[in-house]
Chains A and B, each alone.
Chain A
Amino acid sequence: MSTFAAITISGLALGAVYFLVASGLSLIYGLMGVLNFAHGAFLTVGAFAGWALAVHLSAAGGGAGWVLTAIAAACAGAAVAALTELLLIRPLYGRPVGQILVTIGLDLALVGLLLGAFGSSSRAIPVPAWLSGVTAVGAERIPNGDFVALGTGLATLAALTWFLRQTRYGLIIRAGAENRDMVRALGIDVGRAFTLVFTIGGAAAGLAGLLNAVVFNSALTDPGQGDELLIFAFIVVVIGGLGSIAGSAAAALLVGLVQVYVGFYAGTGASLAQLSNISVVLLLVVVLLVRPRGLLGRAA
């Protein structure tokens, strides 16, 4: 197995984490027209919840509670997201700019609160040995975390696709994204669907926050970590086309791959350590200028 393949796997894993964040953003935007800036805070809340449980579990002597940890992260993200929709977004129906602004304020407040409570020092998340280990594939050693991230991303994509295509609520969400007023006129409570997409998006974000901390940073750094990831998730959503889950998935992989390829092949010798980030940003600009609605987005 070549180095190229190993890097490709790590790029796909990074893309999977981007997808977890971007899918929620895209669902929320598609149905409600809200660009959710508080998603970065959902990520961070999920990561901190996972960290708190992991520390508790490993102190209790257990190492197999990793699945519980992941569930805790997802639940924490989902809970914060649901509360956000009910308490802050709901009173602002009909004021789309107000909704975007309120998520900006919430992100500021939540990240500030976590910073006050936990500080910005790096904290290790205790993980079981199998997760921090590597698997030898041919001559290359692939971190197991990459496979976990990739698997989580694929499972989420499958679950979301099934949910949107096969369930009643999925149908309402797809119809609502198409024409909200018509769905409401048919006597269906769209408000409940709004809360639902926020909850789903928050759960995926919480999971992504934990995975990002464990797999790519091997520790939970400061509460601003989520906002850094959020910028890339925005880029993914816009490249993929706002509101399109498939577009988000494709764009997430594209961005993840571009980032690791440029980082590996151009970033090592050059003085530009940030070249990989810059290339992703420029990719967004090129895509938007050539195709303003993104790869798979519908025409405005």
Chain B
Amino acid sequence: MKRLSLKRAYAAGIVLILAMLPLIGLHIPWILPGPVDVVDSAGTLVVLGLGFVFAGVALGFDVLFGFAGLLSFGQVLYFATGVYVLDVALSDWHWALFPAILFTLAIAAVVSVVLGVVSLRVSGIAFAMVTLAFAQAAYYLIEDNPHNLTGGDTGLVAITTRLPPQLIGVASTRNLYWLALGFLVVVYLLVWLSTESVTGRVWLALRESERRAEVLGYRPFGYKLAAFTLSSMIAAGAGMVYLLLVGTATPSAVAATTVTVSILVMVVLGGLGTRWGAVAGAMVYIYLQQWLLKIAAEPSFGSLPSILRVPLSQPDFLLGVIFILFILFAPNGIAGLRASRGTR
């Protein structure tokens, strides 16, 4: 019990420090992911905010894959739903922010329940492929730009209408950062409550052996659908925060299967089935991705011999290699590194 309260104190402390970052004008060379080497610069805050958004998505995906054992390849579909439905409601229908958010969540709920019921009729590789197929269909639809709603390949233009003034303009970055942090805290609590509940125990049982859970009298379908819907709703929420934070979106950044792959990489990197591992995996992934881009843009970088410069300029290459090394040598991810030292 004492250890638990200590853990909570740690968590609260970390959140508090993160919440205070936008107020710190500290100059730190090199390690910050934004282009300006100041902690509260807009670039650094947006990257960290992006990290919080994807940490939320990763937590949701961890519920599905890490806890319930369902490997979906269509997680990006719900993220894209959040981005595009919110955008359509705000900039095409000129709704106010709050009803637009509720509407987006309602759409995400309907879509995830309907597609979940259909996809969960099959399992294993077939489930992965059906979910991939639905996400891919949505991606093609977005690329097609029906009625000029999605902007097609070129993406969405920045929303300016109907947003509260606190969320618009350069000065708003700080508020959007707090919004993203708040979102992550809410998601974390939601995932914590659900995975520690009876439902969460059944998810673990299903992951280990669906048949055994069935023999014990549980009907798997409802539990699986609950995990599927919860993770989808979290992804949709993250999509909405992404849209507000970044302001624009392109299909390749928010709707392509490569996004699902990066979510999967984040969760596995952090450690499957661990909550803070998913958060750590996503933060490390986003940080490295952005920081490596920044380093590659440094003038001194260009003077490196090409055998070093070419691979180092590609975050995907380095992240792929790191991912492979983790799979081979630290299969339980970042969380596993800690656990193997004797703590949990």
Contacts and interface: CB of A to CB of B under 8 A. Distances in A.
The residue among B121, B129, B137 with the most chain A CB atoms within 10 A of its own CB is B129
A115 B314 contact: yes
Contacts of A282: 133, 137
Contacts of A106: 320, 324
Contact of A235 (B129, B134, B316): B129
B133 A281 contact: yes
Contacts of B264: 101, 104
Contacts of B124: 300
Given A281-B136, A285-B134, A35 B146 contact: no
Contacts of B121: 289, 292
Nearest to B264: A104
Contacts of B214: none
Given A116-B310, A272-B146, A231 B136 contact: yes
The residue among A108, A110, A235, A284 with the most chain B CB atoms within 10 A of its own CB is A108
Contact of A104 (B122, B129, B265, B331): B265
A288 B126 CA distance: 7
Interface string B119-141: 00110111011101110110011
A298 interface: no
A238 B317 contact: no
| Interface SS of chain A | helix
B158 interface: no
Contacts of B71: 97
B321 interface: yes
B220 interface: no
A282 B311 CA distance: 38
Contacts of B327: 92, 98, 101-102, 105
The residue among B261, B313, B321, B324 with the most chain A CB atoms within 10 A of its own CB is B324
Interface in B300-343: 310-311, 313-321, 323-324, 327-328, 331
Contacts of A108: 261, 265, 316-317, 319-320, 323
B257 interface: yes
A289 B264 CA distance: 25
B17 to A, nearest CB: 32
A278 B323 contact: no
Contacts of A272: 144, 146
A285 B90 CA distance: 32
Given A271-B144, A274-B140, A88 B328 contact: yes
Contacts of B128: 35
Given A92-B328, A288-B126, A105 B311 contact: no
Contacts of A170: none
Contacts of B144: 271-275
Contacts of A111: 316
Contacts of A98: 327, 331
Interface string A154-189: 000000000000000000000000000000000000
A113 B310 contact: yes
B118 interface: yes
B118 A289 contact: yes
A117 interface: yes
A101 B320 CA distance: 10
B321 A274 contact: no
Given A104-B261, A109-B324, A117-B310, A285 B133 contact: yes
Contact of B314 (A112, A278, A289): A112
B342 to A, nearest CB: 24
A210 to B, nearest CB: 23
A22 interface: no
B313 A116 contact: yes
A91 interface: yes
A115 to B, nearest CB: 6
Interface string B139-172: 0110110100000000000000000000000000
B314 A281 contact: no
Interface string B41-64: 000000000000000000000000
B254 interface: no
A289 B122 contact: yes
A235 B331 CA distance: 29
B268 interface: yes
Contacts of B136: 231, 277, 281
- Minimum-distance CB pairs A-B, first 5: A109-B320, A112-B316, A108-B320, A112-B317, A274-B140
10 contacts: A88-B328, A95-B331, A104-B323, A106-B324, A111-B316, A112-B316, A116-B317, A274-B143, A281-B136, A289-B122
Interface of B: 71, 118, 121-122, 124-126, 128-130, 132-134, 136-137, 140-141, 143-144, 146, 257-258, 261, 264-265, 268, 310-311, 313-321, 323-324, 327-328, 331
Interface of A: 29, 35, 88, 91-92, 95, 97-98, 101-102, 104-113, 115-117, 227, 231, 234-235, 238, 242, 271-275, 277-278, 281-282, 284-285, 288-289, 292, 300
